[in-house]
Structure 1
């Protein structure tokens, strides 16, 4: 039947592995992502993607720990807010707060795992599905527009772009999440040291636990750097193989 054949073809396309990317693409996409993270204007624009992942982490942790999620707001200054209801203390609240700053790096690590298996199409479609799910939870106009634009770009690339463009887009995006997940933690501590973020996630965690804010900032850094190292090893697989370093 045409419908079944079409669904089978779509499923095969979704789960099929693409060829290894050229080693030069791995290096160039890493360099491109690093330039975006390290320079002010590109970072100011691209940071919205990190905010989406950050607030998505809060939201997912809230749902998984049984809290009632009221909604997400994304703002044009790249800040965000996730509102949930439940016990004001305890493991659920702590995990919800912890999830934000580590979410971009962990999403990047998951993406690196998929790219390590050359599942480029699967990665792009999973990204679209997650963005659509998050869209249902957003409660302000800028947040809706931000998700629609981001999801639309990913969908267009996954559907219309050539395999080479899809590979470049996917590797750049995952490198960006791995690298971009680290910078906000240092920005957090810099603003905390100036007294500009008294209600930061780290400060709220300090009030809920015996550990000071710097402990939580250090934990965020440690998790994100570990994700970067492991993710980079997964993404660099084609480069290492081509160099003959695996024997």
Structure 2
């Protein structure tokens, strides 16, 4: 399994650098990120109007909230949620529960389509992804499904870390346009965007390390 993990991580890194197909698959992480914002908004008593997905892998979630803490937690949840889901999927893969990875992802896709995705590209992406995903679940062999789950898990792992690095980088060179880091800086006022960017990146490395440790930790000698 160690060799498979390394191989699929390399494949995910290479794929995400490809112009069109790479962005298409990378949007899986974007959807998970935006779902994190949406779930936190609902948990804290807010509302979700819509989720938009774009061809450049960016996303936007339109929410409303009653209290400052709800808006704060909603803004902070996107990167943390995608990192946590990547970690959770790695644990499921480690325990041989690949089917649950696919089930959770399909659930996220269907719920997002039914309730929140409304922009044209977002609708195109999620309909085509659900169609391909459903065909894979129906027609794919057990081994093939396990490989698909492993591929999507390593893709989320890679994207959760690289996207967190990108927002950290942006928070230093352009703190007024660094997405969630900028929003949190404006909400807290005393904590600048670069600090939030660094925190986002650190948490992505932390969850990534927790998940990978399951596969690469040394077994105690008898």
- Class of the TM-score when normalised by the shorter of the 2 chains: 0.7 to 0.9
The one of 193, 196, 203 aligned to 1:213: 193
Distance, in Å, in 2 between the alignment partners of 1:194 and 1:130 is 34
2:154 is matched with 175
Indicate whether 1:222 and 2:202 are aligned.
yes
1:141 positional shift: 1.9
Mapping of residues 78-97 of structure 1, within 5 Å? 78-87=57-66, 90-97=68-75
Instruction: Please report the TM-score for the alignment, with normalisation by the length of structure 1.
Output: 0.79
SS at match of 1:77: coil
Given the alignment, which residue of 108, 111, 117 partners 1:133? 111
**Deviation of residue 34 (structure 1)?**
2.8
| Contact 1:125 1:158 (8 Å CA) reproduced | no
Unaligned runs of 5+ in 2: none
Show CA shifts across 1:158-209 (max 9, x none): 2221121111111111111111111112222334444385362111111211
CA distance in 2, matches of 1:144, 1:189: 29
The alignment's C-alpha RMSD in Å is: 2.2
Flag the 1:165–1:201 CA change in 2: closer, same or farther, 3 A.
same
Whether 1:66 and 2:28 are equivalent positions in the alignment is no
1:5 corresponding residue in structure 2: none
1:144 equivalenced with 2:112 (yes/no): no
> Which runs of 5 or more residues in structure 1 are unaligned?
1-21
Large movers: runs of 4+ above 6 Å: none
Distance 1:90 1:31 in 2: 41
Superposition TM-score, scaled by structure 2 size: 0.87
Structure whose CA Rg is larger: 1
Distance 2:192 2:182 in 1: 8
CA contact (8 A) 1:127 1:154 kept: no
Among 15, 21, 40, the residue aligned to 1:36: 15
Q: Distance in 2 between matches of 1:178 and 1:226?
A: 11
* SS of corresponding position for 2:48: strand
Structure 1: how far apart are the matches of 2:130 and 2:191? 38
Give the aligned partner of residue 88 of structure 2. Answer: 110
Residue 108 of structure 1 and its aligned partner are, at CA, apart by 0.8
Higher relative contact order (CA 8 A, sep 6+): 1
Map Cα deviations across residues 71-101 of structure 1 (whole Å, 9 max, x no partner): 11112222211111123x6211011001112
Cα separation, partners in 2 of 1:78 and 1:196, compared to 1, 3 Å? farther
1:121, 1:158 within 8 Å by CA — same for their partners in 2?
no
